[in-house]
Chain A
Amino acid sequence: MAQAVRMALHYGEEYLGVTDVFGEDVGPPLGGVFTVTQGLKTAWNTPLDERGILGTAMGIAYAGGRPVCEIQFCDYALNIMDLFKIAGNQRWASGGAFDLPIVVMTPNGAGIRGSIYHSHSFESFATRLAGWKIVMPSTPLDAYGLMLAAIKDPNPVLVLLPKALLRVRGEQLIPGEPPDPDELSRMIDAPIGDRSHWQPQWPPLEDYTIPLGVANLVREGSHGTVIAYGRPLPLCVQAADELAREHGYSFDVIDLRSLFPYDWSMISHSVLKTGRVLIVNEDTEVTNFGEHLLRRVIDEHFYDLAVRPRTLMGKHVPGIGMNQNYELNSVPQLGDIRTAMWDLATEPA
């Protein structure tokens, strides 16, 4: 997925007018702590100053540039919440006088043994920021398509990258991507050691844009609706496949992809069909974006539900502990998801 984002940013630089890709360690020699920005011609390093990063992105956009900036870990975005609020309200507050076409990307969530300050989830904070659009891919192809949409959209867009999936290879190729992963790596991954003379060889990439607000129905079924995004999504798919194979229970698994605006139409149709809903994410449960979706399900589909709708979320604890017994017991894992889906499908109506 890191390569997919990198290729999207390259496409953005070449064809969509991206003028600056910047953040802490984003430029050479490192190209990002997750290698997401290696080899990009407009990438540059900033001081270690998140407020300066978002503020400067806003300034560049005011002056006609198209910036993509990175907050190195979403945990570090908490000291710029007021700037997020301001960026989200510039158009509204100025009565339409100023558009603010900026993209902020940041790695999100647990799963890399990142301990207390590299494992947090940000989507519940982020979706409270009116005026922003928020996306979170779960596959490399979606990461490519959502990043292109984020760049094309003339509003502030936050791209949350599930950090546990950044090293995962996709099942579908990005248009223009060579089928041999080793060949792609030779082309666009910076070499270990001295990189001062290295230049990437970009594949002939093509446009592939996933519209904002369009979810992906990744599995179809009749015994329940599972709504997820980001890191837990592939776990939900795996659990759905296992339950279908072993027990004959099938699920609609919806990859939301775009958290705001979200695809209410797809959610609504699926709930009408199954009458059973489970919402899964890894953010802490008080107060969680999934609870908003749950509220709408209850408000608008109360009488369509066969059993109580439910959520599976991260535990309300101050952090993800380093010892894996902390993480495995506070962030939803495959077993937790499978159990919740089993309960959803088997509870008597």
Chain B
Amino acid sequence: MSATVVHSLWTTTAADGITKIPAPNIEYAQLSPVLIVLGAAVLGILAEAFVPRRGRYHTQLFLSVVALAAGFAAVVGLAAGGYGTTKKHIAAMGAIAVDGPALFLQGTILLASIVAVFTFAERKLDPEAHGNRVDSFVAQAAAVPGSDTEKAAVKAGFTTTEVFPLALFAVAGMLVFPAANDLLTLFIALEVFSLPLYLLCALARRKRLMSQEAAVKYFLLGAFSSAFLLFGIALLYGYAGSVSYAQIAEVVNGTVQNVDPALAETMGNDALLLIGGAMVLMGLLFKVGAVPFHMWTPDVYQGAPTPVTGFMAAATKVAAFGALLRLLYVVLPGLRWDWRPVMWGVVIVTMLGGAIVAITQTDIKRLLAYSSIAHAGFILAGVIAGTSDGISSVLFYLAAYSFVTIGAFAVVTLVRDAGGEATHLSKWAGLGRRSPLVAAVFAVFLLAFAGIPLTSGFSGKFAVFKAAADGGAGVLVVIGVIASAIAAFFYIRVIVLMFFSEPKPEGPTVAVPSALTTTAIAVGIAVTLVLGVAPQYFLDLAGQAGGFVR
């Protein structure tokens, strides 16, 4: 296209040009889950500005829980209205898909976030500071650790109630991420949920240096990976002349109509497609935490405040897998023979790498981080199945896994000594003799991670491996079972440590939580057992959700 024509796109006389631009047609009702959560996040910011300090905690907690519950109700309403099955379509001028997988994942993210917000709001674990109840978050984030400013802030009873609106912004981004139907929306949603998470990581009340270090690492590596994602988007845009998923898929499949000379030139250039696709995949695999893009996971999971770790481990993973599924199934199915071998390799090293390195860990949060890497590998095995069973098994696994994760990290917040949470594994020795209930609950979560029958981990793994085997990835299933066996070893080792070793005299104490954390753990246990004993209803639900709108 000549320079003058491009120039005229910008300089066409105003009256002529503007009347030709149609007003966008936005289906607000179908976007309501996202809009409710975003609106509540904005209200939360206003509450920070106008509500007196004393009342902020209760205002923010109420606002967040109500908004997330209302968002979930909106998702259920849309699903009941048939938007997941017969009426699935693409809303907001091609930007957002409203279909079964999107609604299922949005529902999962919202429910998991409600539970995570409960753990955010817990204020009974730390001893009271100067007569003020404190939560897991720093009194004043800007104060230097150990400085007089910080002591004054603690004495004045400050708390960082900004965590609630930050979490809501993150949730809003996560709701858009699996529903994004063009690459620009995908990138913006990624940043909308990542930026608040970087900040949340830096806000731990105890061990602040570690928390800040985790935030810097997460931020630098996250920004690095999103730059790769963006360059990949640029190359795919160059290849197809559009960022819409449908258009790119058409060009990849070679079924595109109206090929103009510029498109004819770029769509013949496979380098743009292959490099672009690989870089976009890289950005998503980073968020998922797959080997070789997993380096940030252990440090960030260990350093971040534990409630934030639980939230990140559960909700981010759900959102990122949703986006990955949509990319591979809607945009790049025509490229399957190119991405499958690569993803095979990623799955194998992720499953084995996560499971093997986890054995050597001595910190419970790092151990759970490596376990989450191994689980990312198991879920990826379902992703590459390439069938509708693959989609539904991944959806089910994500729903099961997210509640177990939040529950497990909630238990980690309970075991404490003078320095805050006692995360070193040696301190957990004999926990089962001191506090049998807490140890038993944690053991159930570990068994679910290990995939022992009658827990949700087993039904999830079974569904994913079955889909992978049916999809022609039998070798992966064998390797997956081996990795599961290796993983089971270190889960069981923790259980043995808790129940069959002598408690140390100077060992940690188990804090008695308020109803908030108790609810979070109880929901985790309930989901683990229900999805383990009677998974059929939920498997059907995930099965009905299968099928992306194109």
Tell whether A and B belong to one assembly. no
Binding site for B on A (CB under 8 A): none
